[in-house]
Amino acid sequence: MLTDDADTGELTRRWHTGPVTEATTQTRYITCVLCEASCGLEVTVDGEEVRGIRGHDADPLSRGHICPKAIALQDLHTDPDRLRTPVRRVGAPGADATWEPIAWEEAFDLVAERIVAIQAEHGNDAVAAYLGNPNVHSVGALTHGVNLVRTIKSRNTFSATSVDQLPHQLMAWALYGHQFLLPIPDIDRTDLLVLFGTNPMASNGSIMTVPDFPGRRRDLQARGGRLVVVDPRRTETAKVADDYLPIRPGSDAYVLLAMVRTILAEDLARPADYVDGIDAVREVVGPFTAERAAEASGIPADRITDLARAIAAAPSAALHARMGASTQAYGSVAQWAAQAINILTGNLDRPGGTMFTSPAIDMVGKKLIGGGHLGSWSTRVRGLPEFGSELPVSVLAEEITTPGDGQIRGLVCIAGNPVSSTPAGSALGDALAGLEFMVAIDFYVTESTRYADVILPPTGPLERDHYDLIFHTLAVRNTARWSPALFEKPEEARHDWEIARELALRIIALRAAAEAGSGIKGAATRVLQTVKDLPHVVEAQARFRTTPKQQVDLLLRTSGHRLSVGKLAATPGGVDLGPLEPRLPDRLATRDQRINLATPLVLDALPALLAAEPVARADELLLIGRRSQRDNNSWLHNLPRLTRGKARHQLLIHPDDAVCRGLTDGDRVTVASRVAQVEVECAVTDDMMPGVVSLPHGYGHDRPGVRLSEATQLPGVSINDLTDPERIESIGANAVLNGIPVLVSSIPGE
C-alpha cells in the first residue's frame, strides 16, 4: 500500500506493509548488486520484511562473503529519503526548490516531448546522456537503458568509464582486439599477486570480481604465495601484504616501464608464440631505466628491478593495476605496461597468471558489446577523442556552457552523480543549472539530480531480478547465478528497464509522427497510439517489450551450457562452471589472432612521458582519493547502518607535512587546487606517503537542495571539487583524479 509519508512531506512516499498474519519466514538467495564482488546473499524474509542478511556459504563464487553494505540493503529498501514516484521540480534548483509528485504517464510524456523538441530545434547532439556506475549493476539498465541511449542518438554520450577504467578498455582493445577482453588475476592459484593502485580489502576488487578477497588473500599466503602492494597510502590491503612499496602518485607508468625494460634487458621474457613487436618494445623502453623510475616514484631502483625479476621467476604471477593507476596522466601507458609484464613473463593465460573468463553469457563472443574504436569523432570544444562511442566526461561542463552549434542543452542522467564523481564537480553543477531541460533516472535527490526538471525513480535492488552480465565476465571463477527479485515491486513502481522502454517508445513515436509530417499533435502517449503500426515502431516495441528475464533466458539457452533462468533459479547460489581456463590464442579478437605488443598509440606517447616534469611545486602536496568498506561511491551516505561509527571524511596527511604547516590532528585546513578550495578537518597519519594527502571519494552532501535526511551524519567535502577537468589522461582522455597538486594550509585562528 502506498501512502504519503507525513515526516518527509510531498517528496517521498513510503511503502508500509500490512501486519504479518501468519508465520511466513522464508530463506531466499539473491545477488548483492552494490559492488563488483557480486556476493551471493542468504536473506530471511517475513512477508515484506527483511529479518536477516548473511553471506551464502554454499555460493561457489562468493563462499559466504558479505560486507556491511549488503546488510544495509534493508535500510535502502525502507529508506524514507528514497523516491518512489516521479517528481517534478518547482522553483529554481537549490534549497528553496520543492518537488511535486506527478503520475508516471505524465512524466514520460513530458520528458519525451522535451527531448524530442530540443533535438528537433538544435540537432540530436543537443541532448546528452550520462550513465553512472549502477547501470552495470542492473540487468535492466543493460538490456534496455543502453537502448534508450541509442535511441537518443547523440554523440554527446558520457559515462563513469572516463572517470574510471577507460585505460583498461582502451588497452584491451589495442592488445586483444576487444575492449572487454580484460584478463583477470587468477587469485585462487597464483604464487605472486602484485597490486598497483587498488585496495581490494576495502573495495572488494575491481576488474576482478573477487568476493572474499580477505579469505582468498589468506589462502594465497597460506600456500606460500606472496602479495605485493604499490600505493601512495599504506592501505588496508598494504597492511596485509608481504611487501608494500609507497609510490608517488602519477608515476606508475615509469615504474611499470622500467619493469618491462628489466625483463627484456635481462632476457627474462618468455612470451607465447602469438606475441609480436617485442624488439620494438625493447628499443622504446630503453630510456625508462629503474633510476628514472626511482626519481619519479620514490621507489628505490633496486626494489623496482627486484619486483620485475620476482614476477619473471615465480611459477605464476599476476600483476593487476587498477583505479589508482588508471586515473593519471599516463594511465593508459601504465595499463599497457602492466599487460606487457604479464604477457612477457608468460603469465597471460596461464593458471595463476591473468586469464580470460568463460562466462555462460559471453558478451564478447556474442557481440553484445562493441569491440571499441578510438577517435571516430571528437568533442566540440577541446577536440578530445571518443572511445567506444563515448566522450570523456571531463568536457561535459564546457560542452554545456560554450555557445555554438552542437551545444548541449538537455541531459538524461541515468544512475549517475557527475557533480560528485567528475572533475570540478561544483562548476559542473553550475553548468547543469543552465540546461534547458534535465531528466534523472534515480531514486534520490542528489548533488546532481537536484538540477533535474523531472526525476524518475526506478525500483530498488531488492525489487528487481538480476543476472550479472558484466561481472560474470570479470570474475575470478566461472559461475552463473540468477537473482530473483526479493520483493514484488509495488504496483505503482517502475523498473529501470520499464522507464527506459516508455521513454524510448515515446521518443520514437514523436519522431515518427514528425517525419510523417502527419500533423499528429497531443501528448506522446496518444501519438504513440496513432503511429504504433508503423513498421519501425512495431520493431522498436518488440525490442523494448522483451523483458530482461526473457532476454537472459534466451542467452542462457543458447550459451552451450544447457542453462536457463528456470534452471538457475532452482539452483540457489548458481552453477559452478569451474576455474578460469587457458583460452588463447583462440579468444583473441585481433584480426590475425595475435598480440602486437608494439601498440603505436603507446609508443607515440612515450617521448612526452620521458620529458614530463613533476606536476607539484615544492610547497604543494599531491591529492589522492580513497574508498572505505562502508562507502559506495557517492550514495548510501544516509543509511544508518553505514553512517554510524568513527568519522572517516578527513584529509589524511603525513606527520612531516603536518608539522611543517603547523597542523595537529583534527585541525581544520584549507585545501586549494587550481580550480577550487575546500575546508575540512585533517587526520595525521604515517599511513600516508610524505608529500601526499588523501580525501575520500563521494562525500560532500551538504549542498543546497540535496535531500538526504541523515546526510549530516557523514560530514565532509567532495574531492572532485578540487580535481581539474584540464588534467586528462594522454591517450584516451580519462580524468586524472589522483595526484592533483594542492596547497594545504591551517586556517588562521583555528
Binding partner selected for residue 418 from Mo ion, ligand MGD, ligand SF4, none, CB under the kind-specific 5 to 8 Å limit:
ligand MGD
Binding partner selected for residue 161 from ligand SF4, ligand MGD, Mo ion, none, CB under the kind-specific 5 to 8 Å limit:
none
Asked if residue 585 has a cis previous peptide bond (ω within 30° of 0), the answer is yes
- Rounded to whole angstroms, the Cα distance separating 741 from 682 reads 17
Pattern 228-267, binding to ligand MGD, x per CB under 6 A?
--xxxx-x-----------x-xx-x---------------
Q: Which of residues 196, 330, 437, 467 is near ligand MGD by CB under 6 A? A: 196
Point out which residues pair with 740 in neighbouring strands: 623
Sequence length of the chain is 750
Q: Is 414 in the site for ligand MGD (CB under 6 A)?
A: yes
Nearer to ligand MGD, 48 or 231 (CB): 231
- Locus of grid cell 543537443: 126
**What ranges make up the beta strands (E) of 221-317?**
226-230, 243-245, 275-276
Binding partner selected for residue 512 from ligand SF4, Mo ion, ligand MGD, none, CB under the kind-specific 5 to 8 Å limit:
none
Residue 168 phi, psi dihedral angles, 5° rounding: -65, -50
Q: Which of residues 355, 682, 719, 744 is near ligand MGD by CB under 6 A? A: 719
Provide the CB-side half-sphere exposure for 45 (13 A, CA): 18
Which long-range contacts link 268-273 to residues 24+ away (Cβ below 8 Å)?
268/308, 268/309, 268/312, 268/313, 268/344, 268/345, 269/312, 269/344, 269/345, 270/312, 270/344, 270/345, 270/346, 271/343, 271/344, 271/346, 271/597, 272/343, 272/346, 272/348, 272/349, 272/584, 272/585
SS3 508: helix
- Parallel/antiparallel/unpaired status of strands 2-4 and 13-15: antiparallel
C-alpha cell at 446: 542528489
Q: Is 167 in the site for ligand MGD (CB under 6 A)?
A: no
Q: Which of residues 93, 183, 324, 573 is near ligand MGD by CB under 6 A? A: 324
Nearer to ligand SF4, 42 or 398 (CB): 42
Q: Is 496 in the site for Mo ion (CB under 5 A)?
A: no
Asked if 267 contacts 224 with a C-beta cutoff of 8 angstroms, the reply is: no
CB atoms within 10 A of CB 594: 17
CB under 5 A: which stretch of 160-168, 207-215, 369-377, 390-398 binds Mo ion? 160-168
Residue 15 CB, nearest approach to ligand SF4 (Å): 22
Nearer to Mo ion, 125 or 164 (CB): 164
Angle between helices 496-515 and 524-531 (to 10 degrees): 70
Binding partner selected for residue 70 from Mo ion, ligand MGD, ligand SF4, none, CB under the kind-specific 5 to 8 Å limit:
ligand SF4
Residue 611 CB, nearest approach to ligand SF4 (Å): 42
List Cβ neighbours of 365 (8 Å cut-off, separation of 6 or more).
Answer: none
Residue 156 CB, nearest approach to ligand MGD (Å): 16
Nearer to ligand MGD, 319 or 507 (CB): 319
Residue 597 CB, nearest approach to Mo ion (Å): 27
Nearer to ligand MGD, 282 or 472 (CB): 472
Residue 84 CB, nearest approach to ligand MGD (Å): 13
Q: Is 741 in the site for ligand MGD (CB under 6 A)?
A: no
Residue 315 CB, nearest approach to ligand MGD (Å): 25
| Closest alpha carbon to 738 in 182, 321, 184 | 321
Q: Is 164 in the site for Mo ion (CB under 5 A)?
A: yes
Residues of this chain that interact with ligand SF4 (CB under 6 A) are 32, 34-35, 37-39, 66-67, 69-70, 204, 211
Binding partner selected for residue 66 from Mo ion, ligand MGD, ligand SF4, none, CB under the kind-specific 5 to 8 Å limit:
ligand SF4
Asked if 674 contacts 698 with a C-beta cutoff of 8 angstroms, the reply is: no
Nearer to ligand MGD, 488 or 515 (CB): 488
**Of all helices (H) and strands (E), which one includes residue 201?**
helix 200-203
Asked if 687 contacts 234 with a C-beta cutoff of 8 angstroms, the reply is: yes
Nearer to ligand MGD, 121 or 686 (CB): 686
452-481: contacts with ligand MGD (CB under 6 A): 458
Secondary structure of the chain: what % helix, strand, coil (to 5)?
35, 20, 45
CB atoms within 10 A of CB 92: 11
Residue 353 CB, nearest approach to ligand MGD (Å): 20
Residue 410 CB, nearest approach to ligand MGD (Å): 18
- Rounded to whole angstroms, the Cα distance separating 205 from 44 reads 27
Residue 9 CB, nearest approach to ligand SF4 (Å): 31
Binding partner selected for residue 38 from ligand MGD, Mo ion, ligand SF4, none, CB under the kind-specific 5 to 8 Å limit:
ligand SF4
Distance in angstroms between the alpha carbons of the first and the last residue of the chain:
52
CB under 6 A: which stretch of 54-62, 130-138, 171-179, 383-391 binds ligand MGD? 130-138
Residue 630 CB, nearest approach to ligand SF4 (Å): 10
Q: Is 635 in the site for ligand MGD (CB under 6 A)?
A: yes
Nearer to ligand MGD, 486 or 527 (CB): 486
Size of the site for ligand MGD (CB under 6 A): 64
List Cβ neighbours of 145 (8 Å cut-off, separation of 6 or more).
Answer: 131, 135, 138, 414, 415, 441, 496, 497, 500
Query: How would you label 456-495 residue by residue, b for 16+ Cβ within 10 Å and e otherwise?
Result: bbbbbbbbbbbbbbbbbbbbbbbbbbbbbbbbebbeebbb
Residue 270 DSSP one-character state: -
Residue 448 CB, nearest approach to ligand MGD (Å): 7
* Residue ranges in contact with Mo ion by CB under 5 A: 164
* Residue ranges in contact with ligand MGD by CB under 6 A: 35-36, 132-134, 138, 160, 163-164, 196-200, 202-204, 206, 230-233, 235, 247, 249-250, 252, 322-325, 328, 414-418, 420-421, 441-444, 446, 458, 496, 624-627, 629, 631-635, 697-698, 719-720, 723, 737-739
